[in-house]
Amino acid sequence: MPRRIEEDHKDFIDVVSGRLRKALKKFIKSGKIVRNRGKRGKISISIPKIDIPHITFGDNNQGAGRGPGDEGDVIGKDPQKGKGDRAGQGEGEGITINLDLEAVLKFLAEELELPNLKPKPSDTFDEVKIKYNNISLVGPESLRHNRRTFLQALKRQAAEGTINEVEFVPGCPTPMRTIKPIQKDKRYRQYREIKYPSTNALIVYARDGSGSMDSFKCDVVSDMAWWIDVWIRRFYKRVDRLFVWHDSVAMEVDEEKFYKYRFGGGTTCSSALKFIAKQFENRYPIQKWNIYVFYFTDGDNWGDDNPAFIQSLKEEFGPNAVNLVGITQIMPYNYDGSVKEAVDEAVKNGELSSENIRTVQIGPKDASGTPVGWGASMSDEERDQQILDAIATLMGAEAKKQAEAGA
């Protein structure tokens, strides 16, 4: 039985979707997506060219149904077989398509196992919506429900036996039946106020401003922050961002200065946490905001400040205060004695909660996968892939597994 055109069209769409998913998966795994922020909510990727099916006609100089041949002969067979040295190599011609950022994020979530963010329970109500969900016998004329009113008048006139009475209506040459609502027929829309819990999110980006935080490390921070931004914004109606820069003293800065400014002074990492915690008192109360803190450093903290850093995390950044604290250590001079080592040890010992505190490290590794200290280099491909892995660890399902394994 011949296939319907709808079935052929569906098969073709399935082929296109399959090619698209394969190309997008390859694009993500290559890490190239990290630097592709798109324009106007679109991400451009390349997929192999797909030939649209079409019918071709071979040579038939003698006309249809004519020419030599006996019953059972194969028709349309070329007596000359094609020849060639070897199979073709390389990829075919590709085409570039623009995908909605939302579609890319959904696929990215599948690949990185990013869970949906769940706002913490809130006792505050920021939004009040009016919902018309009832009918009343009284109310202002501006809220009169015309359909219900005329329906009620129709029922009343039918019960009274006056529904077939006719009368002249201005503008009409002949008499006609009319429906005339009276006061007791009138129905009015009634509303109630529905309060919705607060769904505000605050994303805090903080980093140390030591001279060792060079442009390479700042670019890593910028790329990670952009993708973290677009992911969190999917789940909250309002998102505020706070940029905190510090050397030995922390301060709030604008976005441009956050990524570019460096200073050769000392580094006191706990100053950033103390500054952020002060913002919770009046500006961003923890009862009203879902708070995500991302701290970036090369791990070289000043003197004996690591204990103060751990203490601040413990007292001010627990699971009841903030949704997530993500600490990214980039190209450290040495893991021993670094901020990440101190936090990892505190989580392992139960001093800090693994529920909302997670750490990652971005930097070169040796053949066994062990991080290499300062001075080694890494390729752009390694950098981009590690950024994706870091986001998956900080915000994805893999983070919970690692936290449980380290506990």
Nearest to 97 by CA among 9, 20, 11: 20
Give the pLDDT confidence score for residue 308 in this predicted structure: 95
Residue 112 has a CB neighbour count (10 Å cut-off) of: 20
51 three-state secondary structure: coil
234 phi and psi, to 5 degrees?
-65, -25
Q: Which residues of 32-43 are buried (b: 16+ CB within 10 A; e: fewer)?
A: ebbeeebeeeeb
Mean pLDDT over residues 375-391, rounded? 82
- Residues 6 or more apart whose CB falls under 8 angstroms from that of 343 comprise 309, 310, 313, 327, 352, 357, 359
Dihedral sign for Cα atoms in the order 381, 386, 392, 395: negative
Average pLDDT, the chain: 76
Write out pLDDT tens, residues 8-22.
555 555 555 566 666
* Cα–Cα distance for residue pair 305/334, rounded to 1 Å: 16
CB contact at 8 A, 163 and 154:
yes
Give the pLDDT confidence score for residue 290 in this predicted structure: 87
Beta bridge partners of 96: 46
Give the pLDDT confidence score for residue 310 in this predicted structure: 95
Query: What's the N-to-C CA distance of the chain in angstroms?
Result: 63
- Residues 6 or more apart whose CB falls under 8 angstroms from that of 135 comprise 145, 148, 187, 188, 189, 190
Write out pLDDT tens, residues 60-99.
555 555 556 565 555 555 545 445 444 444 444 566 766 6
Confidence band of 264 (pLDDT split at 50, 70, 90): low
Confidence band of 402 (pLDDT split at 50, 70, 90): very low
Length of the chain: 407
Give the pLDDT confidence score for residue 132 in this predicted structure: 81
Return the structure tokens found at 219: 């670019």
In CATH, which of 2.60.120.260, 3.40.50.410, 3.40.1800.10, 3.40.50.620 is domain 198-406? Answer: 3.40.50.410
Domain boundaries, the chain: 1-52+95-112, 127-195, 198-406
- Residues 6 or more apart whose CB falls under 8 angstroms from that of 403 comprise 347, 354, 355, 358
Write out pLDDT tens, residues 97-156.
666 777 777 766 776 665 556 666 555 555 667 778 889 998 888 889 999 999 999 999
Higher pLDDT, 95 or 319: 319
